[in-house]
Amino acid sequence: MTESHLAVKMETRGLHFYYGSNHALKNINIVIKERQITALIGPSGCGKSTFLRTLNRLNELIPHTRIEGAVILDGEDIYQPGTDVVSLRQRVGMVFQRPNPFPKSIFENVAFGPKVLGLGTKREIEEKVEQSLKAAALWPEVSDRLHSNALSLTLGQQQRLCIARVLAVQPEVILMDEPCSALDPLATLKIEELMQDLKKNYTIVIVTHNMQQAARTSNWTGFFHLGEVLEYGPTETIFTHPKDPQTENYITGRYG
C-alpha cells in the first residue's frame, strides 16, 4: 500500500515563527498523516521543538513571539481568530522531554485532564483513569498504589504516566518532545513499543535526537536544519536514499 493514500490529520502551510527578531522557523510545509508516526530529526536548536509547540499553540505562552502561516487540523486553521485554544490543546496532547508529573498522586495526575474538562462523574473518571493507565501499559505496575505520589515512580514509569495523563483527555494527536531523552534503554524500549500500540488509534508526532529511534518507530521523517525542513518523506526513503547531502551527513552521524 502506498502511504500517500492515508488521510491527512494536520498540515502546515508557509509556517514562520519568530522569537523576537530571531526567525526560528522558516516556511515549513509538512503534512502529517492520520494514525502514523511522524518523526522530526535534526541537530539541536534547529527548530524541531519549536515546530512541535506550534501544533498545539503552546508557543504562544512565551512572550514576544510571532507566527505566520497556517496550521491546519482536520481542515481548520488552528490560528484563525475565534479558535477555542483550550479544546485545541485537548485534541492535540503533548508529552514533554522530561517526565513532569504533578507532585500529586498517580490517580490525581491522570484524573487532572478529565477533571478540568469536566468529563463525567467521579465513577466515570475512575474508569477513565484505569483505561488510560492500561493503554499506557502502566496499570499492572501501579494498580495497587494509585494514591501514592507520582514522583515515587521511576523516570520510565513517570513518562508512561505522563502518556496516560494525555490519553485520559482523549486526544486525536499526541506530540512527543524527545520523550525518551531522560530514560534508560529499557524504559525507552517500553515507550517505543507503546507508541506502536498507540499508533492504531492516535496520530503521533515525535521529536527525537536518536536516529535509530526515528528509523525504528516512525513512518514519516522530517529533517530540520536551521529552522527549515530540508527533507521530508517516508522514513525508509529518508534513511536509505536521502536526497539532501546535509540529511545524509546527519543520519550517518557525521555531525549532530
Partner 1 sequence: MIINRSRYMTQSIAKFLIWMGALSTIAVMILILFQILKEGLPVLHLRFFLDSPKNMGREGGIFSTLIGTMALTGVAIFFGAPLGVGTAVFLREFTRESKISRVIRFGTDCLAGVPSIIFGLFGFVFFVIQLNMGWSILSGGLTLAAMILPTVISTSEESIRAIPPSYREVSYSLGGTKWQTITRVVLPSALPGIFTGILLSIGRSIGETAAVILTAGSSLVMPTSLFSPIRTMSVHFYILAREGISMEMAYGTGAALILLVLMINMMAQWLINRYIRHRT
Q: Of 75, 103, 140, 253, which lies in the binding site for partner 1, with binding defined by CB under 8 A?
A: 103
Q: Which stretch binds partner 1 (CB under 8 A): 33-41, 100-108, 192-200, 222-230?
A: 100-108
CB-facing half-sphere around the CA of 118: CA atoms within 13 A: 2
Select the residue interacting with partner 1 from 12, 15, 38, 113 (CB under 8 A).
Answer: 113
Which of 22, 45, 66, 116 forms a contact with partner 1 (CB under 8 A)? 116
CA proximity to 217, closest of 62, 39, 63? 39
| Euclidean distance between CA atoms 133 and 122, whole angstroms | 17
3-state secondary structure at position 231: strand
Minimum gap (Å) between residue 122 Cβ and partner 1:
16
Q: Which residue has the cell 494498580?
A: 143
Q: CB-wise, 24 or 55, nearer to partner 1?
A: 55
Beta strands in the chain (DSSP E): 8-19, 22-28, 31-33, 37-41, 65-73, 76-77, 92-95, 173-177, 203-207, 220-225, 228-234
Closest approach of partner 1 to the CB of residue 113, in Å: 4
CB closer to partner 1, 113 vs 227: 113
| DSSP output for 48-70 | HHHHHHHTTT-GGGSSSEEEEEE
Among 93, 179, 222, 242, binds partner 1 (CB under 8 A): 93
Per CB under 8 A, contacts with partner 1 among 145-204 are: 149, 162, 165-166, 169
> Does residue 176 contact residue 205 with C-beta atoms inside 8 Å?
yes
**Least distance to partner 1 from the beta carbon of 237, Å?**
32
The contact set with partner 1 (CB under 8 A) reads 56, 58, 61, 63, 86-87, 89-90, 93-94, 96, 98, 100, 102-104, 112-113, 115-117, 149, 162, 165-166, 169
